[in-house]
């Protein structure tokens, strides 16, 4: 017999958890969406299973809840973003937005993320 988990409850739990660490509501939603989507797509290695790892990384300072993501190099078609120890989901979301913007402007966009 399979057990189904209410995704609304999982979403509420995770958003509340990330909020308690100090992430904004929007940031908590982005992180939770990525984790939940991974689980729903069957990619459990990048889903809720990572909560313990994220707890350890946040509390040890490996991840900076207040990190300011910044562009350190940019051309019309590309950019390099320094995440400054931000959560990967947040850095990836910023990189994706910038790549889409560049693609709309010049037909192609490529953005890499470090740190």
Q: What is the CATH number of the domain that holds 45?
A: 1.10.1530.10
- Cα–Cα–Cα angle for 67, 85, 81, nearest 5°? 85
Q: What is residue 1's predicted lDDT score, i.e. its pLDDT?
A: 54
What is the average pLDDT across 94-104?
98
Does residue 80 share a domain with residue 48?
no
Establish if 2 belongs to a structural domain: no
Q: What is residue 78's predicted lDDT score, i.e. its pLDDT?
A: 98
pTM passes above 0.85: yes
Which residue, 60, 81, 104, sits at the end of a domain? 60
Q: Which residues of 20-38 are buried (b: 16+ CB within 10 A; e: fewer)?
A: ebebeeebbbbbbebbbeb
Establish if 65 belongs to a structural domain: no
Contact (Cβ atoms closer than 8 angstroms) between residue 57 and residue 86 = no
Q: What is residue 74's predicted lDDT score, i.e. its pLDDT?
A: 97
Does residue 56 share a domain with residue 75?
no
Does residue 78 share a domain with residue 56?
no
Question: Domain limits at 107?
Answer: 70-114
Q: Which two tokens stand for residue 114?
A: 């470090």
Please give the tally of structural domains in the chain: 2
Asked whether the predicted pLDDT for residue 102 surpasses 90, the reply is yes
Task: Tell me the CA distances in angstroms from 92 to 23, 27, 96, 99, one per residue in order.
Answer: 16, 12, 6, 10
Share above pLDDT 90 across residues of the chain, in percent, rounded to a whole number? 91
Instruction: Quote the mean pLDDT of the chain.
Output: 95
Does residue 76 share a domain with residue 47?
no
Which residue, 42, 60, 78, sits at the end of a domain? 60
Of 81, 75, 80, 64, nearest to 102 by C-alpha is 75
pLDDT digits (tens, 9 = 90+) for 12-54: 999 999 999 999 999 999 999 999 999 999 998 999 999 999 9
Q: What is residue 4's predicted lDDT score, i.e. its pLDDT?
A: 77
């Amino acid at each position: 017999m399979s057990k189904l988990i209410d995704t609304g409850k999982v979403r509420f739990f995770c958003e509340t958890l990330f909020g308690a660490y100090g992430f904004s509501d929007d940031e908590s939603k982005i992180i939770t969406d990525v984790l939940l989507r991974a689980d729903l797509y069957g990619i459990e290695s990048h889903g809720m299973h990572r909560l313990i790892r994220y707890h350890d990384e946040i509390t040890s300072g490996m991840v900076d809840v207040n990190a300011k993501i910044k562009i350190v190099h940019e051309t019309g078609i590309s950019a390099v973003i320094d995440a400054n120890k931000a959560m990967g989901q947040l850095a990836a979301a910023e990189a994706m937005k910038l790549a889409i913007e560049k693609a709309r402007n010049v037909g192609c966009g490529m953005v890499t993320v470090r740190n």
